A and B are shown apart, each in its own frame.
Chain A
Amino acid sequence: MQSRSNTSDRKLHWARALLMRDIRLAIRVGGGTLIGVLFFTTVITIVPFGLGPDMKLLSVIAPGILWIGALLACLLGLDRLLQSDHDDGSLELMLMSGRPLELIILIKCLAHWLTTGLPLILATPILALFLNLDAAQLGAVLLSLLVGTPALTLIGMTGAAITVHLRRGGLLLAVLVLPLTIPILIFGVATVGAASDPLVPALTPFLALCGLSLLSLAIAPVAAAFSLRVLQH
């Protein structure tokens, strides 16, 4: 009886352990957290060089450039979601673990977002300087990225679960996921546009973006768990 009450005390102990393990894996050497931020920084930094020093033009296209950069940086990290766990057999053990697979997937998404999406958001204020973004727009970009990037991870997880059993599925994963992320991109950029345009109701695109994120939060873990269970055979 003692051991049973002990286990119920620590019912979600395993969730914390899995989260910490995934974060550790991501931030250690070879984990790839830096790659996403570096890619993001590189893309944003070269845009002013490519377009010339037209400050007005830069500030007009800045939200779109930041969002596209963030989207591509997120795509770059998607194959880390499940691939290495699949290759070394850890994924099989997770399927056998007796824990809800949907929850395992959600935790892996959280760890991935903390080490991929969050660093992008933290880097954005500095990069905004390069693109002549004013404070109000910067605030809107940060807010839209904060709401939108978790959805990118969640949608990416669904794609990763479908392609994990394919050898060299990385490119297919990107092709599969990219179209599904377009609504996020549209409403993400529109949120920033609405913030600076008095004619557009400021909250509408942002609420649509929130809705899309919540929708992917509801669907993605179930869809990913389903495809992992079915496709493992």
Chain B
Amino acid sequence: MVRLNAHNLAIRRNGRDIVSSVSFQLSGGTALIITGPNGAGKSTLLRAMAGLLPFAGGTIELIRNTTDDQQADDRPLFEHCHYVGHASGVKPSLSVEENLALWHDLMDPVDWPSDTSSGMPQHNHSTMDVETVLDHIGLSHIADFPASYLSEGQTQRLSLARLLVTQRPIWLLDEPTAALDQASTKLVTDLMNTHLAKGGMILVATHIDLELSNRTALSLGAIGEPS
């Protein structure tokens, strides 16, 4: 089982505290729903966890109760994470399949032990191939199309497909359903639930009520406001 312990996190930008004294604990198979008004630091927190911003204070550590994978234990936290933010990372002049294939090859997968109930930890999160994922996410019929032909919602689905082509235990999702219709939202919720069922973790900033199987909440106040 993997666990994530965050204690008293603070993130400062331009001398202002955007996020301060945030603590949470998350164990494998659980989602953390991050809510709060605009400017509360939801995206900032996710970006900092992705290694894209520095923490100004606090500690965050990933605990992997495994003895057999020293190499994975030594990796920095962000290499255990997938990050899907506002920028899609989709190249308009590449085809849908080529877009996804790059991340399949480039991102180094990180395995994690999924199951404690059966006694033996299992590592069976084999990386899915690109075709299967496109099929899964409902874009296989336009796999050869340039990504510039995609609608906003399809582009978002394509960037969420990155989560599946490489296995990593922690998903950092910033408004993953912003441009999606109801059916796609359902699809993404299902993907998230599957990830949780495998013992993964999800930190998601969202304004809508996602139907996730196992979740805790973190509410950020507008502490960035001058007091």
Contacts and interface: CB of A to CB of B under 8 A. Distances in A.
A167 interface: no
A96 B50 contact: yes
A30 B93 contact: yes
Contact of A25 (B50, B93, B127, B162): B93
B79 to A, nearest CB: 4
A7 B109 CA distance: 10
A95 B50 CA distance: 9
B167 to A, nearest CB: 10
Given A17-B106, A97-B106, A89 B93 contact: no
B107 interface: yes
Given A89-B85, A96-B79, A98-B75, A24 B53 contact: no
Given A25-B93, A96-B50, A17 B107 contact: no
Contacts of A233: 52-54
Given A13-B105, A92-B83, A232 B98 contact: no
Interface string B107-129: 11110000000000000001100
Interface string B31-55: 0000000000000000000111110
A224 B101 CA distance: 26
A84 B90 CA distance: 11
B52 A18 contact: no
Nearest to B99: A21
Given A94-B106, A98-B107, A99-B108, A89 B75 contact: no
Chain B interface secondary structure, helix, strand, loop or mixed? loop
A90 B78 contact: no
B: interface residue count bin: 20 to 34
Contact of B105 (A14, A84, A90, A93): A14
Contact of A17 (B83, B89, B105): B105
Nearest to A84: B91
B102 interface: yes
B222 interface: no
A88 interface: yes
B102 A95 contact: no
B52 A232 contact: yes
A92 B52 contact: yes
Given A89-B89, A96-B50, A233-B53, A24 B105 contact: no
Nearest to B92: A30
A13 B102 CA distance: 10
Contacts of B53: 233
Interface string A107-121: 000000000000000
Interface of A: 3, 7, 13-14, 16-18, 21, 24-25, 28-31, 84, 87-90, 92-99, 232-233
9 contacts: A18-B106, A21-B91, A24-B93, A25-B91, A28-B94, A87-B87, A89-B89, A92-B85, A99-B108
Given A17-B105, A18-B102, 5 more contacts: A3-B127, A89-B86, A96-B51, A98-B107, A99-B106
